[in-house]
Amino acid sequence: MIVCDQDGRLQFDGNDDGGPLGYVVANDVLQDALYERLTTQAGNADLEFICPATVESIDNAPNEWPGVRIAGRDGPLAARLLIGADGARSVVKRAAGIGTSGLSYNQHGLVATVRVAAPSATAWQTYLPTGPLAVLPLQDDLASIVWSVPDADVDDLQAMPNASLVQALNDALGRGDAPDPNSVRRILRKEHVPAPKVVGIVGKRAAFPLQMQQAERYVAERVALIGDAAHVVHPQAGQGLNLGIQDAVDLVGCLEDAHGWDWGDVHLLRQYESKAWSRNALMLGGVHVIDRVFRPQGVFGSLRRLGLDLLNASPDAKSLLAAVAMGSRSPLHPLAV
């Protein structure tokens, strides 16, 4: 993995930590695998799987049995516990009366699958004056890009012809990869790995607003929130999905330990909340600090250049960061990294 801007570069090699920092899985591949697993489980257990489904209304009467009643196109449902995993605009969160705090970065993330000139297993993130651009390797010569751009520019990039977008991406990657002749890296003769070269756009593009959000609470009587329904993090650290998986791990653990408890009891659910809320708040705050440090109008430019290059020359420091990224020195469950 390589992280760079026009001031410096940080390079993680596979032999720095003994293994990959992580894996990039295409969204459709992950969804297909989850769908197959759920349909298999529904056939082998007392489980009803309804997909797609549309929720039209939620009536939470915690003092009545079973407590939560859901109306939808597939008919009414009742449950002791309703888990909201329905995204940043969660209907479940709104129905439970749970508020959200946060901020907008006044940017959108442009997402697309691209073809690169040479297959690579190296993730690349370069910080530009407009925001970070990540190139994340997929199978063969495919990669996923996430480009953080100002709100005013996203429509132009989405409407841009493929050839023009390819040129814009390569210009941006080249700018972040430009070596600094005064860099400590040059003095230490660190091997310079060039930025990936984009040669084509595959499929459609998408864009989403970049924001930081944290639900004021993750639980209410007979309701629990996980994933983006509970929190939204800037994508530059690639932790959004990992945090959501960790939420699920923590909530399941809480319910597994609830011998004799009513699963919808808010006192039980707060055991999940106490663990997940603070952990996610720490991650959201850390990613926000990274965003501020790498903003071009910030006051960190000179220190950033020196810090990146000195850190790049220190195998021990990079190994520590790699260990945190892989979860061996992180509060995240191994399943979530």
Looking at residues 244-256, what average pLDDT do you find? 96
Q: Rounded to whole angstroms, what are the CA distances from 195 to 43, 135, 172, 296?
A: 47, 9, 10, 20
* Residue 196 and residue 152 in one domain: yes
| pLDDT the model gives residue 337 | 42
For 104, counting Cβ atoms within 10 Å of its Cβ (0-12 exposed, 13-18 middle, 19+ buried), the class is exposed
Looking at residues 151-180, what average pLDDT do you find? 87
How many domains is the chain built from? 2
Answer whether 249's CB lies under 8 Å from 227's CB.
Answer: no
* Residue 113 and residue 170 in one domain: yes
Residue 170 lies in a domain: yes
How many whole angstroms separate alpha carbon 312 and alpha carbon 330? 21
| Segment among 172-176, 206-210, 274-278 with least mean pLDDT | 172-176
* Residue 22 and residue 114 in one domain: yes
| pLDDT the model gives residue 227 | 97
* Residue 317 and residue 249 in one domain: no
Question: Is 60 exceeded by the pLDDT of residue 321?
Answer: no
* Residue 95 and residue 107 in one domain: no
Residues 116-126 have pLDDT tens digits of 999 988 899 89
| pLDDT the model gives residue 300 | 58
| pLDDT the model gives residue 10 | 74
pLDDT band at 55 (very low <50, low <70, confident <90, very high): confident
Residue 221 lies in a domain: yes
Which token pair is 30?
Answer: 């992950």
| pLDDT the model gives residue 16 | 52
Residue 226 lies in a domain: yes
| pLDDT the model gives residue 329 | 46
User: Identity (one letter) of the amino acid at 332?
Assistant: L
Dihedral pair phi/psi, residue 219, rounded to 5°: -135, 155
Residue 47 lies in a domain: no
User: Greater confidence, 161 or 60?
Assistant: 161
Q: What CATH number should be reported for the domain holding residue 178? A: 3.30.9.10
Residue 167 lies in a domain: yes
* Residue 61 and residue 201 in one domain: no
Show the CA angle centred on residue 279, arms to residues 244 and 327, nearest 5°. Answer: 70
Answer whether 184's CB lies under 8 Å from 306's CB.
Answer: yes
Residues 199-226 have pLDDT tens digits of 999 999 999 999 999 999 999 999 999 9
User: Greater confidence, 141 or 27?
Assistant: 141
- Beta bridge partners, 4, equal 9, 126
Dihedral pair phi/psi, residue 89, rounded to 5°: -100, 45
Give the chain's mean pLDDT. Answer: 83
| Domain enclosing residue 127, as ranges | 2-27+103-210+299-336
Looking at residues 108-129, what average pLDDT do you find? 92
For the ranges 121-135, 282-296, 303-317, the maximum mean pLDDT occurs at 121-135
Looking at residues 249-277, what average pLDDT do you find? 94
* Residue 152 and residue 275 in one domain: no
Residue 36 lies in a domain: no
| pLDDT the model gives residue 179 | 52
